[in-house]
């Protein structure tokens, strides 16, 4: 941004907060995936997540279940105590300690707890990926989500 090679851009957290804190950028608008790609500024835009392969689940089902249980525990903690959870960003991600309080805590949810509307939003995002060639063929997101 400081090099002046472009006038604007889109980024995900924590990059936006780090650039704002450094004084090299400012936020023009939040929620652009929901608003412009999904067509609903209240839509949930799932641009990140956690995944394990079907092969791993089949070969090591007990480990996969333990992993999913730990992930569910982490999500519950984040959703119930976002300010406390945010502090872990400094030690477990590349987020500088001076920025962690600025980073938005997103709406984390387990696949098995997704509402019908959340599944629709995820499907719409996957369909967008197909329409721009990032996802090679249309997928039914309910077929790739594993509920533990």
pLDDT tens sequence for the chain (148 residues) = 778 888 888 888 888 888 888 888 888 888 889 999 999 999 988 877 888 898 999 999 999 999 999 999 999 999 999 999 988 888 888 888 888 888 888 788 999 999 999 999 999 999 999 999 999 999 999 998 888 7
Q: Which domain holds residue 129?
A: 43-144
Domain membership of residue 87 (yes or no) is yes
CA-based nearest residue to 107, from 40, 49, 36, 68:
49
- What pTM did the predictor assign? 0.81
Domain count across the chain? 1
Domain membership of residue 32 (yes or no) is no
Q: What are phi and psi of 37, to 5 degrees?
A: -90, -45
Domain membership of residue 102 (yes or no) is yes
Residue 4 is predicted with a pLDDT of 82
Question: Which H/E stretch holds residue 119?
Answer: helix 116-131
Domain membership of residue 12 (yes or no) is no
Interatomic CA distance for residues 81 and 26, integer angstroms:
27
Rounded (10°) CA dihedral 137, 139, 131, 29: -140
Cβ distance 24 to 16 under 8 Å? no
H, E, C per residue of 55-69: HHHHHCHHHHHHHHH
Domain membership of residue 2 (yes or no) is no
Domain membership of residue 64 (yes or no) is yes
Domain membership of residue 22 (yes or no) is no
Q: Give the contacts of 22 (CB within 8 A, at least 6 positions apart).
A: none
CA 142 remoteness from chain centre = 18
Domain membership of residue 16 (yes or no) is no
**DSSP codes, 1-70:** -TT-S-S-----TTHHHHHHHHTS---S-S-HIIIIISS-TTS----------HHHHHH-HHHHHHHHHH
């Amino acid at each position: 941004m400081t090099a002046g090679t472009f006038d604007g851009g889109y980024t995900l957290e924590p990059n936006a907060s780090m650039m704002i804190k450094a004084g090299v950028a400012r936020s023009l608008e939040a929620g652009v995936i929901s608003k412009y790609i999904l067509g609903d500024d209240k839509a949930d835009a799932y641009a990140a997540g956690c995944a394990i392969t079907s092969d791993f689940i089949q070969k090591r089902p007990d480990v996969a279940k333990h992993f999913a249980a730990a992930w569910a525990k982490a999500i519950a903690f984040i959703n119930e105590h976002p300010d406390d959870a945010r502090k872990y960003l400094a030690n477990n991600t590349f987020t500088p300690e001076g920025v962690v309080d600025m980073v938005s805590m997103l709406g984390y949810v387990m696949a098995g707890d997704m509402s019908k509307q959340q599944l629709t939003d995820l499907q719409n995002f996957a369909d967008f990926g197909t329409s721009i060639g990032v996802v090679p063929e249309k997928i039914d997101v309910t077929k790739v989500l594993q509920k533990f």
